[in-house]
Amino acid sequence: MKTSTLHITNGDSTTKYLQKLNIKGDFITWREMLCEGKTEVYVGSENFWKIRFNQLKKSYKITKKQFIDLTLKEYRNLCNQKTQEEIVLWFEYDLFCQINMIAVISWLKHYRKGRKISLVCSGEVKGSKKMLGLSELTELQLLDHYKNKIELTQDDIEYADYVWSLYCSKNPLQLQNVYQYQPSKTFKYLTNSLLAHLQRFPSIGNGLNSIENHVLTVASTNKLSSKDQLVSRLLKEQEVYGFGDIQYFKKIDDLKSLFQSYSPIKLNETGQKIQQQILNAYANFRNDTSYLGGAKKYNFLYDNSTNKLLKITSL
């Protein structure tokens, strides 16, 4: 017999945690990383999954079987969940989760109209100096989050759907207006995530984005003996991205031309000059196959002095 509540979680660890606490309802785990690579605005469409599989296959060597078993089967399970009166979303404060969250809300807007949708979102916790993910909460803290879940209004749903459409557009410039002038009280962590997203476009200063520059800075200012140590340090220091180790290993591999050695970690001369903003790497890294949402990564530049994203008019 179906229950009256459907829980859509941000990952397997959250799902297992909630089941351990005997929280009632059916569970769907959203296994995607929509903050990485190209996206399509119509979540769940044939073209959407085609684009996502090609992205994951190219970037992370995901096989078709893995994609079907881990992602598509769970999505099909979601499609079959049609009777619940309330849908509860469990997501976190970081870029990874926030992008997945607005995509799921967009899907719900189109395919579960009129349902009661509630949000449990972790981040700031009283007594903690750092932001906390759902699996980092104590049992009492998690249950308190659930007790105080936020019911989304139709305006909230429309807002999330609108931001998702901007994220998937070819021109992300309008996202600047959203995070600067149209913040949402309901989605209080989305503003910082959108800013972090815009800063993933290449900087005017040296042609690398904020994450790539941070990789070089950590590599050049610490004595690290291996890629594992470098990734461990990056995971510890990230504040808003919510990336896993495979994503950082991929980013280090993308920057391999700037490293002299991985054992120990050492930048080459070019890498040092780029890290010091003496050289600009844009021309060497520019390509037409890298996407952030719906936009080509190298069609835009981020100006750190004005905190604005600029479109390149001629390439």
Is the pLDDT score of 1 beyond 50? no
Q: What is the pTM of this model?
A: 0.96
CATH of domain 5-198: 3.40.1360.10
Report the candidate in 272, 246, 277, 243 with the shortest Cα–Cα distance to residue 257: 272
Digit-coded pLDDT (tens) for 174-228: 998 887 777 789 999 999 999 999 999 999 999 999 999 999 999 999 999 999 9
Digit-coded pLDDT (tens) for 285-315: 999 999 999 999 999 999 999 999 999 976 5
Digit-coded pLDDT (tens) for 3-29: 699 999 999 999 999 999 999 999 999
Tell me the C-alpha distance between 216 and 236, whole Å: 15
Q: What three-state secondary structure class fits 265? A: strand
Tell me the C-alpha distance between 216 and 254, whole Å: 12
What mean pLDDT comes out for the span 75-99? Answer: 97
113 phi and psi angles, rounded to 5 deg: -60, 140
Alpha-carbon dihedral angle through residues 109, 111, 117, 122, given to the nearest 10 degrees: -80
What mean pLDDT comes out for the span 50-67? Answer: 96
Is there a contact between 200 and 209 (Cβ–Cβ < 8 Å)? yes
According to DSSP, the residues that pair with 29 across neighbouring strands are 9
Q: What three-state secondary structure class fits 137? A: coil
Q: Domain-by-domain residue ranges, the chain?
A: 5-198, 210-285
pLDDT band for position 239 (50/70/90)?
Answer: confident
Tell me the C-alpha distance between 162 and 285, whole Å: 31
Which tokens hold the place of 194? 């959108």
**3 secondary structure, DSSP code:** -
pLDDT averaged over every residue in the chain: 95
* Residue 2, pLDDT score: 57
Is there a contact between 247 and 260 (Cβ–Cβ < 8 Å)? no
